Amino acid sequence: MKQLPDFIQKLIAEFDKLPSVGPKSAAKLVFNLLHRKEDLKILANHLNEAYNHVHSCPQCFNLTDKGLCRICSDPNRNKKIICVVSQNQDVEAIEKTNQFNGYYHLLNGLLNPLEGTTPDKLKIKELVQRIEENGIKEIILALDQSMEGEATVLYLKKLLRNYPVEISQLARGIPMGANIEYTDEATLSSALENRKKL
């Protein structure tokens, strides 16, 4: 790609950093966009807007363009129950089921010590703080059924044992290895409803 202008190579390099996009797909996406001038302009505007307005909610760490996110600032939700998820897409997936009326807490990942994701890299300290300060009664762990998800559940179960809070985990309806975000609404809904105490 040496013959390409520098800025195109840099653009491809940025796309290459995205999850599930290899260098070849990155180049394909960039070339496709460069041939669609109007869409390129729209994308540039959206990216600019996202850069200027989007930040993490200071309470749950979901993305928002307001101070607190839409969910944290909703007074009609149950303040005593927190659903712990690893990422933004999981909040969207659970909200779609209409089965959950509490608040969320995003860990921003799952434990994976071999790849450097140790407990201090996740928003665990902040979760404990919320439990302590807000009189939380129940924590639902809605984490992927993967090695990392299981490791995170075990860690949180042990850590939260010392707090007066009920901990439950999504029922096993979700297949091993499956991500919350790709689980269909009916399965997720029943996994929530049949959550088991830890």
Structure tokens that stand for 132 in this block: 């302590």
CB of 101 to Zn ion, least distance (A): 15
Nearer to Zn ion, 85 or 111 (CB): 85
Q: How far apart are CA 143 and CA 169, in angstroms?
A: 8
Nearest-approach distance from CB 195 to Zn ion, in angstroms: 21
30 or 69, CB closer to Zn ion? 69
Tell me how far, at minimum, the Cβ of 59 lies from Zn ion, in Å: 5
- State the DSSP string of 49-101: HHHHH-EE-TTT--EESSSS-TTTT-TTS-TTEEEEESSHHHHHHHHHHT---
DSSP count for the chain of H helices, then E strands: 7, 7
Footprint of Zn ion on this chain (CB under 5 A)? 57, 59-60, 62, 69, 72
CB of 142 to Zn ion, least distance (A): 16
Whose CA is closest to 197, among 138, 144, 148? 138
Return the SS3 of 106: strand
Q: Identify the DSSP state of 183.
A: S
Q: Which is nearer to Zn ion, 64 or 145 (CB)?
A: 64
Closer residue to Zn ion, CB minimum distance, 58 or 175: 58
Minimum distance, C-beta of residue 125 to Zn ion, in the bound complex (Å):
17
The angle at the Cα of 29, spanning 3 to 54, to the nearest 5 degrees, equals 115
Looking at the Cβ atoms of 64 and 169, the one nearer to Zn ion is 64
